[in-house]
Structure 1
Amino acid sequence: MSGDAGRGGVVTLQLSAKSRKSSSSPSTHPPAIKPPTLLIQGDADTQTSAQMNRDFSAMGKEIGWPIQYEEFPGAEHTESWNSDHLRYEKLVTNFFTRTVLLPAAPTGWDVRRTLLAGSRRPQ
């Protein structure tokens, strides 16, 4: 996990069939800190089960883990951006803005205007 979990961040989870059955799987032993998590999945993925990630997302909601699950129709493993780059970029940008930039922004800082203008964050 990277980022400040209390203020949002980025979490990468590699869940295999073996880890789902393992006693250390996040689905059987969720972390104490549950940072906002964005799961992006292609429904044609032959390496990672879309159903496994749907189930993981549902489990997260049950235990209060803010998981946003987004599925890309027809996308194979790592092809979500290729299948709909505008949707992908909007999802990632909105998630990052909502979970990382906005919580860390100084009072009065207009994050969206700054991003659109390409300006640097005030010191």
Structure 2
Amino acid sequence: FRQPLILVGLAGSELTRAGLEMGLPVANEGFPDRGYREDGNLKPRREPGAVLESVEAVCKQALALVQQGVKVGGKWIRVDTLCIHGDHPQAVTFAQAVRQTLESERVRVSPLPMVIHRNFPA
């Protein structure tokens, strides 16, 4: 196994920017089950709307994330991978529904290295 590791971080974050500057393969992560602030950061869990509770809302957000990305500082950032938090009681249901939604919209679900192949060193 000789593939490089992939740095996964919140889309548009300092972590992903730093990784790209260092020449690392980076994947921008989106969160279908969490609410976002206008600046592209996640809402703190104590704020209303920070955790999405319905399957419909999670699927709608997942589709928007893969089709549009995340708006950070007025600029759209692509999302390469989705994370559904396993600590939610409906995590498995969310994951199954998101996969079904993406496939029904003809979004190809692929292994991460295939999605970000352009970031890998030659």
* TM-score category, normalised to shorter length: 0.3 to 0.5
- Give 1 or 2: higher helix fraction: 1
TM-score by length of 2: 0.37
**Bigger radius of gyration among the two:** 1
